[in-house]
Structure 1
Amino acid sequence: MFRYFKYILIFALLFCSEISWSQKSVRLSQNWEFLKQDLGGIWEAVRPVGVGNPESVPLWENVNLPHCVNATDAVDPDLNYYQGPAWYRTQLKIENLYQNGRTILHFEGAGQKTEIYVYTTKVATHVGGYDEWKVDITDAVASFQKTEIYQKQFKGKVPISIRTDNSRDLEMIPSDLSDFNVYGGIYRHLNLVYVPSLSIDQMFVKAEVDAEGKSGKLRLTARFYNPNQVGGASIKANIIDPNGKIVSSINKKLEISNDLPFWEITVKKPQLWSTEKPVQYRLQYELISSIGNDKGEEKFGFRNIEFVEKGPFNLNGKRLLLRGTHRHEDHAGVAAAMTDDMIRTEMKMMKDMGVNFIRLGHYQQSPTVLNLCDSLGILVWEEIPWCRGGLGGDVYKQQARTMLKNMIEQHYNHPSIMIWGLGNENDWPGDFPEFDKEKIRTFMKELNDLSHKLDASRYTAIRRCDFCADIVDVYSPSIWAGWYRGAYTDYKKASEDEFAKVKRFLHVEWGGDSHAMRHSENPDKALSKIKTGGKTDERAGDASLYGGGARISKDGDWSESYITNLIDWHLKEQENMPWLSGAAYWPFKDFSTPVRPDNPVPYMNQKGVVERDFTKKESYYVFQSYWTDKPMAHIYGHSWPVRWGGIGEEKMVKVYSNCSEAEIFLNGKSFGIKKRNSQDFPAAGLRWNLPFVKGENTVKVIAKKGNVRVTDEIKFNYQTEKWGKPVSMVLSKIAQQDDVATLEVKLFDSKGILCLDAINWINFGLTGDGKLSDNMGTSSGSRKVQAYNGRAIIKVKLNKGKSIASVVSEGIPTVFREL
């Protein structure tokens, strides 16, 4: 790879006299070795084989980057996830063809403390797992290349070793009290970059426009990387509109200085970036000097944002109801090390659900995420990871300042970003003996002032720290109606009460957990125990599954049936709150957390509308029915294979659709057409009580929106037999595709009747040639999982051999099956 890269560079220098960004940056993804432990010292990482190390201990494994130390152990039901040092190493062929050029390692994110070595020389350290950072390895490489060992033992390659460390540390943010894993590893892209000794380190594009879109203003500022103190240079630049037309150009000489404003222009009637039409302009530039040219490109957009005091949110002068969700950097099988394809899939699924706003919880996220928000039209609240625990000392506070500065400067040009978040749940004590509200207020004011100084064009915000609500521009209180406290019918009143307390109100974090594939014929039953009309916030202990007052999070059934009702109610209410700026459901996707070991999927926060592997839950379609325009219809219950009730009893069937009307069919017979009315709860009036027959039933819907017709269909069995306590299990292979088998265990009572409300803990095991597809953090990818409606599923990679699968559940005889 590096040989071909060399030829590309030579061609560019000889024939073009310039190098584009894509030609001078190489993604370092392959040929890495990884060690999940610490070393005695750097010598152990670079010591050649046979030099005092004949056994080659410790054992390294081959990996590709991005890579997360906690790819699987974060959801291992039997372990605490690893928090400690880990090592990565590789050998690079360094060929910088710029005369006196600089060689740089560009990290897009690594957690949480990182040390970088060239051979045995430590060249840099970095604290913080979520911002980008660069390391100049030029001098260390040059020194090593002069040594005899460079050619004799490393054959002209340079050994690079990287130590990451996510050990628990009270003086680090985020706090380990946080409801998410503080991951370790090089879990975002790492790039090798060659630049001339004078280059543009960062280009700041300030794009402003009035609410009517009549006139736009651009102010361009360059930050240089100039370690050799090169003097004069010149710059050529073009502004290109979304149609590819050059609207303005510049060619001028520069006297190099820090953060140099070099161009201000006016753009008449610019094309406006919006959530419906996210058009972007481009700045293409070339810095020209005697020691080499540096080219680059930045995208930006013109848009006007306004959170009206005591009112809604306006984009480009018009009200926009922010329809939002949240994102953690977490995925089945890879944890934080999501590939670009995974990220694109996730963000596209959000947009297809109707999302126009996202809060990135609770830390800066990758350039890939921000670029997709820009191009898809998703407004962003991005925040630093000052999350829970209280306030630490000087080291702690300096880290927060640095993270805020890095976040704002690195993501300054993204038109999607409208809010810089300064913290989350800062009223949550525990990391330090002292919890001083006034000291927290003082530091929050400092961060608020710093944010406005760095970027006066965007708002500041925090969530759930009432004693700091007056400091920031936008505030989100804790409102969890129908989950941690109260009923979901309390939502509107609770929001009105909180809205009255602050200048600008935005509700982020609402919803509740649902165990995928668990359904209920009476999902709201537990609401009868709940005190309504009072507080709906989350307080200490509310997330616990034990103790305290009655609450749905403890006493509910965690079914998809209940959560779809909760979401349905919230969305219908939000349509009739004209003062509301918006809200963001927590979160889009289930994610791993160390503080929830007893959840139905251990160590998983299961509040997502999709599972950790992108499998859609039923709630995804509730959002689509309110938030999207493309005609859709979805019958509730695609993952509900057996419904139950009495003979002749009518059972409700719900259809989530954005169409104006729908007709339902049961076993080929029409049961009438209904009109959609968003205020007719549940399912916006698209619900029918149908007389299922014992055994197999087929339900079909035909929905219409104008001249467009959409359909959906489900099949299920209707069980009328009543059941008792589970006393036996049956393990079956229900499917096989290629070399992967799907196993299902069912729980039965003493009469052999399927126990459809059984939630027993299921423990899968496997002996032989195969391998369980577990530690995925999903309802069908966990070896320990609570049953859903008396069953549980897991997959097995057979490896073309023989295996014996087992299922253990307390109080029930263990079962086996040969595969």
Structure 2
Amino acid sequence: MRTVFTALATLALLATSAAANDRANVLNEAIAATRYWEHVEPLNDGWAFFESDQPDAPAADDDSAVPVTIPHTWNAHDTLAAKQYRRAGAWYRRSLTLTRAETQGRLYLRFKAAGTHAEVYVNGALATTHLGGYTAFVAEISSLVHPGDNTIDVHVSNAEREDLPPLDIDHNIYGGIYRGVQLIRGPTLGLSRLENGGPGVRAISENVTPESATLRVRAVIDNAQPEANNVTLVAELTDAAGRAVSFAQTSLAMEPGRRPITLEMPDVVRPDLWSPSSPSLYTLRVTLWDDRNIVDTVTVDHGFRFYEFDPDEGFSLNGEHVFLKGVNRHQDVYRRGPALEAEDHLRDIRMIKDMGANALRLAHYPQDDVVLALCDRLGLIVWEEIPLVNKITPDEPFAENTLAMLREMITQHAHHPSIVTWGIQNELLIRSQNLVAEKRALMVRLNEAAHEADPTRPTVMAAHGIKGYLEGDLTSVTDLIGYNVYYGWYSETFPDLTRIITEFRDGQPDRPHMISEFGAGSDLRVQRADPKRQDFSEQWQCAMIESYLDQAEEIPWLAGVFYWNMFDFGASHRGDTIPGVNQKGLVTFDRQVKKDAYFLVRSRWSDEPTLYLASPRLTHYEGDAERVFKVYTNLDHAELFHNGHSLGKQSTGFAWTVRLDEGPNTLHVTAPAGAEEHHHGYTVTYTPTKDTE
């Protein structure tokens, strides 16, 4: 027995070590894939934080600063303490020491995000301003720096602005430089770093089949020199083994300024197609040459796939029908807010993937570059969207800022094969049925801008109902429609889903449809043998999910579902059983506990063996001694034992009626999976009442 135990322990240790190596490799690849340019270094340490909303940068001798490391937010704790949290400005400061040689080329600061509007100063001079808290932006600082010590001051504010979405939301608007900062060095003649915060290079494959794929590469050359230069632009696509599969180049005289160039590449023969089960990636390397040497290089990922959303057939990928089994994700974590490291994003994406999901909606805003790179590598189909949620301001500044957010999102993330659709609004009629014409007009502009920036992907909207959206003709604007449905939580009952979703579809039958949100709140402390709507019990959450998944599987035209939400998330205004938290997650806010609902979904979506005896935290029963115990499993059959006695095997349903004994009761379920035997169980206590004695 000891030998077997030791061998098993050794195998477990080896498996753990291999998994850790795999995680490190995936993470390192994803981080490297989001650097894009050759000379990029993180600028995350050595910052000073001044929690002051003064209009001017703090004085040089201001000693009120607190040392911080980026990513950083000032709302990690106050959003949990009260409904009203700090929405104001603050200052960040850092010294940047440069040699004379380092000041000869071009220098840029890239902020991966700052919430929600920022001004960047270098040595007291304004370098750039940026509106929007969820996309990257770049400041060129070449003319503002000098050899020696330089001072970077950044004013960031999350104060509400009527010209900046989101205006009304069910999540926190965190302040701070909550994603990383990069220092980028480039030549005076090179590839542009000033393309809406993105890499400035993109490969487009409009016609893809298993036999061949077209390839077109777009790059922007930036010449800051006073005279024209003869240059050659070279693009090479390599597969995962490093073999070149397509190559093209062009030579031109590059005048001063920026100029977009398009290269028509040779078709790729028999491409390795990207999918959730086989996320094959290629590497596009674009180089710029002068007469003799490489002067600049940009590297981005590329993936080949073809897909279709059909109003009657749902979603297909690479010629095969795929039901989108998705979740939504917010980017914050308990007592940390959105100030996360790449390792945090990897943990989240792996947890989503391990549950069996094949799709992810990034709600309600663009997320970190690394998140998309991880979805590319681990295989998740992505719906990404801008933060146009619930309300608008009906004027041109608001519209222009929203359009800018859309263009930045697409420019920065269009090279990711995991993304299949761009979202342009969420529940714009939920707060008010007013301004419908203005809301539709803005949607039309956003839809047109999305197709102009990316003709290869459809657009999508998320509605909370159908009547107002149909009457206002909002449902005809986007290519796809998602519905946020909570029947059985906020109103009505579970069985209403099929009827109501069908009514929605009948109103706009020429569009493909998805369920973009559904969910119920739960609290690990709330356990009910007789759950009720909005009681926040794990049992009600599971009952709702089970009903929704059962119904969704029987709707042939439905492209997919996205559960709301994968993780509990911050919502300071909420006063539920855990104040300040939206509790609809399948996993707790701190990522420490997978709720019962996680295992329910995993048993429905994952191919990996799953066996889970439901309600392990419901440890005490009173009243009726006969109770039904459910098992969530994807195995062929399972056997339940009560106090060591078999209650029989089941191959469907997986629900046993158990007559509990007074006092402790041990429940244990087993199921074979190949050569392995899976187990799960726990002990409950039963106390008869006077009526049942």
Scaled by the length of structure 2, the TM-score of the pair is: 0.88
Deviation string 1:184-227 (CA, Å, 9 cap, x unpaired) is: 100111101111112223101102344x4222000001023333
State the partner residue of 2:23. none
Matches within 5 A, 1:671-690: 671-676=647-652, 685-690=653-658
Secondary structure of 1:407 counterpart: helix
- What is the rounded CA distance, in whole Å, between the counterparts of 2:490 and 2:246 in structure 1? 55
State the partner residue of 1:405. 407
Cα drift, residue 700 of structure 1: 1.2
- What is the rounded CA distance, in whole Å, between the counterparts of 1:396 and 1:139 in structure 2? 32
Deviation string 1:335-389 (CA, Å, 9 cap, x unpaired) is: 0111111110001000011111111111111101111111111111111111112
Q: Aligned pair in 2 of structure 1 residues 99, 68: CA closer, same or farther (>3 Å)?
A: closer
State the partner residue of 2:681. 713
Please state if 1:654 is matched with 2:655: no
Contact 2:111 2:180 in 1 (8 A): yes
State the partner residue of 2:244. 246
4+ residue runs of structure 1 moved beyond 6 angstroms?
Answer: none
Contact 2:113 2:179 in 1 (8 A): yes
Q: Aligned pair in 2 of structure 1 residues 120, 276: CA closer, same or farther (>3 Å)?
A: same
State the partner residue of 1:736. none
Q: 2:385 aligns with which of 380, 383, 391?
A: 383
Deviation string 1:398-425 (CA, Å, 9 cap, x unpaired) is: 0011111111111111101111111111
Q: 1:497 aligns with which of 495, 503, 506?
A: 503
State the partner residue of 2:204. 206
Contact 2:287 2:294 in 1 (8 A): no
- What is the rounded CA distance, in whole Å, between the counterparts of 1:438 and 1:68 in structure 2? 37
- What is the rounded CA distance, in whole Å, between the counterparts of 1:449 and 1:22 in structure 2? 30
State the partner residue of 1:298. 300
State the partner residue of 2:24. none
State the partner residue of 1:217. 214
Q: 1:423 aligns with which of 420, 425, 447?
A: 425
Contact 2:249 2:263 in 1 (8 A): no
Deviation string 1:32-65 (CA, Å, 9 cap, x unpaired) is: 11122223522x24x2x3xxx6xx3xx2111111
Deviation string 1:142-161 (CA, Å, 9 cap, x unpaired) is: 3xx5xxxxxxxxxx321111
State the partner residue of 1:522. 530
State the partner residue of 1:226. 223
Deviation string 1:445-481 (CA, Å, 9 cap, x unpaired) is: 1111111111111011111144311111001233222
Matches within 5 A, 1:606-755: 606-614=583-591, 615-640=593-618, 642-646=619-623, 649-676=625-652, 685-720=653-688
Secondary structure of 2:572 counterpart: coil
Secondary structure of 1:581 counterpart: strand
Letter in 2 for 1:313: F
Cα drift, residue 705 of structure 1: 4.0
Letter in 1 for 2:235: A
- What is the rounded CA distance, in whole Å, between the counterparts of 1:421 and 1:622 in structure 2? 28
C-alpha RMSD of matched pairs (Å): 2.1
State the partner residue of 1:13. none
State the partner residue of 1:682. none
State the partner residue of 1:163. 155
Contact 1:114 1:125 in 2 (8 A): yes
Secondary structure of 2:259 counterpart: coil
- What is the rounded CA distance, in whole Å, between the counterparts of 2:190 and 2:643 in structure 1? 70
- What is the rounded CA distance, in whole Å, between the counterparts of 2:362 and 2:319 in structure 1? 25
Contact 1:310 1:505 in 2 (8 A): no
Contact 2:329 2:361 in 1 (8 A): yes
Secondary structure of 1:673 counterpart: strand
Cα drift, residue 98 of structure 1: 6.0
Cα drift, residue 719 of structure 1: 3.7
- What is the rounded CA distance, in whole Å, between the counterparts of 1:495 and 1:246 in structure 2? 48
Q: Aligned pair in 2 of structure 1 residues 195, 95: CA closer, same or farther (>3 Å)?
A: farther
Secondary structure of 1:293 counterpart: strand
Contact 1:377 1:416 in 2 (8 A): yes
- What is the rounded CA distance, in whole Å, between the counterparts of 2:633 and 2:348 in structure 1? 22
Cα drift, residue 310 of structure 1: 3.1
State the partner residue of 1:66. 71
Cα drift, residue 706 of structure 1: 4.8
Larger Rg computed on CA atoms = 1
Contact 2:312 2:556 in 1 (8 A): no
Secondary structure of 2:98 counterpart: coil
- What is the rounded CA distance, in whole Å, between the counterparts of 1:722 and 1:337 in structure 2? 54
- What is the rounded CA distance, in whole Å, between the counterparts of 1:384 and 1:224 in structure 2? 28
- What is the rounded CA distance, in whole Å, between the counterparts of 1:600 and 1:351 in structure 2? 29
- What is the rounded CA distance, in whole Å, between the counterparts of 1:717 and 1:349 in structure 2? 32
- What is the rounded CA distance, in whole Å, between the counterparts of 2:359 and 2:678 in structure 1? 27
Letter in 2 for 1:493: R
Please state if 1:560 is matched with 2:538: yes
Cα drift, residue 622 of structure 1: 0.6
Please state if 1:479 is matched with 2:485: yes
Letter in 2 for 1:139: S
Please state if 1:34 is matched with 2:18: no
- What is the rounded CA distance, in whole Å, between the counterparts of 1:187 and 1:722 in structure 2? 58
State the partner residue of 1:149. none
Larger deviation, residues 655-664 vs 495-504? 495-504
Percentage identity across paired residues of the two chains: 30
Cα drift, residue 573 of structure 1: 2.0
- What is the rounded CA distance, in whole Å, between the counterparts of 2:259 and 2:561 in structure 1? 40
Q: Aligned pair in 2 of structure 1 residues 653, 66: CA closer, same or farther (>3 Å)?
A: same
Secondary structure of 2:609 counterpart: coil
Letter in 2 for 1:675: S
Contact 1:390 1:429 in 2 (8 A): no
State the partner residue of 1:529. none
Q: 2:559 aligns with which of 562, 581, 590?
A: 581
- What is the rounded CA distance, in whole Å, between the counterparts of 1:496 and 1:707 in structure 2? 44
Cα drift, residue 319 of structure 1: 0.8
Contact 1:110 1:130 in 2 (8 A): yes
Q: 2:476 aligns with which of 443, 450, 470?
A: 470
Q: How many matched pairs?
A: 635
- What is the rounded CA distance, in whole Å, between the counterparts of 1:699 and 1:104 in structure 2? 62
Cα drift, residue 712 of structure 1: 1.2
Letter in 2 for 1:237: A
Cα drift, residue 246 of structure 1: 1.6
Contact 2:217 2:235 in 1 (8 A): no
State the partner residue of 2:177. 186
Contact 2:480 2:512 in 1 (8 A): yes
Matches within 5 A, 1:428-439: 428-429=430-431, 435-439=434-438
Cα drift, residue 721 of structure 1: 5.5
Contact 1:68 1:187 in 2 (8 A): yes
Contact 2:205 2:215 in 1 (8 A): yes
Q: Aligned pair in 2 of structure 1 residues 200, 694: CA closer, same or farther (>3 Å)?
A: farther
Cα drift, residue 496 of structure 1: 1.8
- What is the rounded CA distance, in whole Å, between the counterparts of 1:346 and 1:448 in structure 2? 30
Scaled by the length of structure 1, the TM-score of the pair is: 0.75
Letter in 1 for 2:576: N
Contact 2:164 2:402 in 1 (8 A): no
Secondary structure of 1:89 counterpart: strand
Higher RCO (CA-CA < 8 Å; seq separation 6+) = 2
Secondary structure of 1:208 counterpart: coil
Cα drift, residue 245 of structure 1: 1.8
Q: Aligned pair in 2 of structure 1 residues 667, 429: CA closer, same or farther (>3 Å)?
A: closer
Q: Aligned pair in 2 of structure 1 residues 675, 613: CA closer, same or farther (>3 Å)?
A: same
Q: Aligned pair in 2 of structure 1 residues 225, 183: CA closer, same or farther (>3 Å)?
A: farther
State the partner residue of 2:282. 281
State the partner residue of 1:195. 186
Contact 1:92 1:158 in 2 (8 A): yes
Cα drift, residue 673 of structure 1: 0.3
Structure 2: runs of 5+ lacking an equivalent: 1-34, 193-199, 464-468
Secondary structure of 2:672 counterpart: strand
Please state if 1:461 is matched with 2:467: no
Contact 1:236 1:287 in 2 (8 A): yes
